[in-house]
Structure 1
Amino acid sequence: MTKTRNIGIIMHGVTGRMGMNQHLIRSVLAIRNQGGIALDNGEQLIPDPIIVGRNADKIAALAARHSVERYTTDMDAALADPYNEIFFDAASTQLRPGLLRKAIDAGKHVYCEKPVSEGLTEALEIAKYAREKNVKNGIVHDKLDLPGLVKLKRLRDSGFFGKILSVKGEFGYWVFEGDWMPAQRPSWNYRAEDGGGMVSDMLCHWRYVLDNVVAPVKSVSCTTATHIPKRVDEAGREYDCTADDAAYATFMLEGDIVAHINSSWCTRVKRDDLVTFQIDGTHGSAVAGLHSCYSQHRVNTPKPVWNPDEPNKMDFHAGWEEVPDNVPLDNGFKVQWEQFLRHVVEDAPWKYDLVEGAKGVQLAEAGYESARTRRWVDLPDLDI
């Protein structure tokens, strides 16, 4: 009979959409329900979450709905229990550094959503503190394990692109204003005083995507906008939008690669997915969404001719070939939870620590500085 080992995980901020769906249900509980993770010593590691939150009724209902036996409103008690080895946070960015420090002081390994903080100085401080206290630590980097980006990186690693020249990214969709149609994102996203902002939300993602799928980011030029000045909140009250709802950013990457990514909550989608990335190289190009990836090698590249006097009859979609899965590709959040749990229990390799999280905050700060000063901003190496 296979021996099992439980590991207690404090899960804070999982009553929200992302924390509940991706981290609690589709990751931690999915790992539990599949019988755990097979460790190198033959044991099965079973995650045992305790849901922590301020609203007792809400966390009790969530726990009952998903057969989670442990829940509490007492964070201090959860941190004091030695059975709980990991603290995870997916709540407010503004509160995150303080919560992480408190968990680190309690001797817990820490894992959290991004951004790790609202400012680079604080992000570096908490990363350094975790290192000094010798606790395992990690930041969520979910998009790297999306099937589309896994395939895109596979093409890069194989040399398919030749010399990479440029990257084009399109992200976003129309978020309704909340008056005649309810908004599908929370109102705090559009208030800077509550931690909202497209740059702070998304440039931390683009940092790890570009760094790991293409090449390290060296500098940024960014323009921001608040296209929708007023929206209506969850209680039906109109409010002023004080945060940027769109960001138009150009990045210089190592190797003189130019990348440009548009991010907007004020755009309507006419592309294959809510986010797409196109890499163009001397030997080939590829376009990836969340799940699919299509490539076009130079020998299959058509030869269009510009002629504005008659409609173009060339089918530009026909010359692209889908990149196959080849291997099973699981939920990206779940894959990273499994990696982090192995890192905690078996000291398996883990790259995405809080220093990597600080790099995302660095890029967001540089993006805002670029927008404010209307100039390019370089990204120096982080040294802690």
Structure 2
Amino acid sequence: MATHRIGIVMHGVTGRMGMNQHLIRSIVAIRKQGGVALANGDRLMPDPILVGRNEEKIAALAKAHGIERWTTDLDIALANPDDTIFFDAATTQARPGLLKRAVAAGKHIYCEKPVATNLHEALDLCRAAKAAGVKHGVVQDKLWLPGLKKLQLLNDAGFFGKVLSVRGEFGYWVFEGDLQTAQRPSWNYRDEDGGGIILDMLCHWRYVIDNVFGKVKSVSCLGATHIPSRWDEQGKAYRATADDAAYATFELENGVIVQMNSSWCVRVRRDDLVTFQVDGTNGSAVAGLTDCYTQSRVNTPKPVWNPDLRNTHDFMADWSVVPETSTNDNAFKVQWELFLKHVWGEGEFRWNLLEGAKGVQLVELGLQSWRERRWVDITPLEA
């Protein structure tokens, strides 16, 4: 058994998502487990170099996690032929330019979403990567969440019969920043800085819907900026120019109707920060990030509407938990392992830049629907 090194230029890992999910819970975790197992029994060991603008911060991060290499000079990092992958989790606005630089340097690329703030740049990236012959992937982490995997299993098993509708609720209350510190960065609420929940979340909903429920055919979306004033990281008041809530309905090619509410202005009274309820002729299911509950046709109670009497029926007790039948690793880590093996030449990887562009397409059409107050059809994309 041999261990093979694979070098990764990691950019944008001092931010919350890049540091926690991609660096610590993915790459560092893979290194601690001895690398990624290949089909022949060999191991693939990631060797990252961390790239950031703040020397003190990037050096401290590298030291804290036993990473020997770091730099503030992206050009030097991209020039090293021994590092074959470039990863980016920094700002969406800067991503297309960074990825094109990496492609020009001959790097395989892996990145967070959205891949761009507009479809033109997203498709331009696809074409550049295709012309350069490099491999590419986009983070679509929710596909490996235990709750969604259980929904997929139920769907594959025919549990639902004919699926009728899906209702999704995502969000939580993000503090304004005056009484309590906000849990999200202030740029999320400034349109000029690439903020907005439509740009952030419709990219997610595109790949979740396409892969689990059916291909999206058309969209109707209403956005809102419910809280117009917030306070930034320095405690300074600023005007929120980006949408902080989105109410979207999707019609799928198979006739299923999907309703998704996304909000940073909602207080949680549900099973999880995101839930999906799937209703079908033979049964229904409700899934969160981890758990999933089902109710079959023969076990469905017979409610009777009577507003004059308090309803004492425990509706929650009518649902059965889907048992854990497999172990579930961190969703980001699972996709990282698949991409690393793909770059090495083992296995296909269909979650590529074109799939990322589909998310950006849905964002643009959602914004168009909001602006024009109408349904908008989706056309197939080609790189």
1:192-231 equivalences in 2 (<5 Å): 192-231=191-230
AA aligned opposite 2:12: G
AA aligned opposite 2:24: I
AA aligned opposite 1:243: A
AA aligned opposite 1:254: E
Q: Secondary structure at the match of 2:57?
A: helix
Q: Secondary structure at the match of 2:317?
A: coil
1:219-258 equivalences in 2 (<5 Å): 219-258=218-257
Distance 1:99 1:253 in 2: 34
Do structure 1's residue 162 and structure 2's residue 161 form an aligned pair? yes
1:127-206 equivalences in 2 (<5 Å): 127-206=126-205
Aligned to 1:321: 320
Distance 1:73 1:383 in 2: 36
The alpha carbon displacement at 1:38 in A equals 1.4
Any stretches of 5+ residues in structure 1 without a counterpart?
none
Aligned to 2:350: 351
Aligned to 2:65: 66
Distance 1:322 1:47 in 2: 38
The alpha carbon displacement at 1:100 in A equals 0.6
Distance 1:285 1:128 in 2: 41
Q: Secondary structure at the match of 2:257?
A: strand
The alpha carbon displacement at 1:33 in A equals 0.5
Q: Secondary structure at the match of 1:317?
A: helix
Q: Deviations over 1:46-80 (max 9, x none)?
A: 01111000110000000011111000011111111
AA aligned opposite 1:88: F
- Residues 354, 382 of structure 2: 8 Å contact kept: no
Q: Deviations over 1:157-193 (max 9, x none)?
A: 1111100000000000000100111111100000000
AA aligned opposite 1:82: P
The alpha carbon displacement at 1:42 in A equals 2.5
AA aligned opposite 1:340: F
Q: How many residues align?
A: 383
Q: Deviations over 1:219-243 (max 9, x none)?
A: 1000010000000000111000000
- Residues 218, 251 of structure 2: 8 Å contact kept: yes
The alpha carbon displacement at 1:368 in A equals 0.3
Distance 1:165 1:132 in 2: 42
Distance 1:42 1:185 in 2: 42
Runs (4+) of structure 1 exceeding 6 A deviation are none
Distance 1:295 1:154 in 2: 12
Do structure 1's residue 108 and structure 2's residue 107 form an aligned pair? yes
Instruction: Report the RMSD for the aligned CA atoms in angstroms.
Output: 0.7
Do structure 1's residue 309 and structure 2's residue 312 form an aligned pair? no
The alpha carbon displacement at 1:37 in A equals 1.0
AA aligned opposite 2:222: T
Aligned to 1:25: 24
AA aligned opposite 2:125: I
The alpha carbon displacement at 1:43 in A equals 1.4
Distance 2:164 2:158 in 1: 13
Do structure 1's residue 34 and structure 2's residue 30 form an aligned pair? no
- Residues 2, 42 of structure 2: 8 Å contact kept: yes
Q: Secondary structure at the match of 2:217?
A: strand
Aligned to 2:382: 383
Aligned to 2:282: 283
Q: Secondary structure at the match of 1:51?
A: strand
AA aligned opposite 1:30: A
Q: Deviations over 1:190-210 (max 9, x none)?
A: 000000001000000000000
Q: Which segment drifts farther, 343-352 or 100-109?
A: 343-352
Q: Deviations over 1:261-287 (max 9, x none)?
A: 000000000001000001100011000
Q: Secondary structure at the match of 2:279?
A: strand
Do structure 1's residue 12 and structure 2's residue 35 form an aligned pair? no
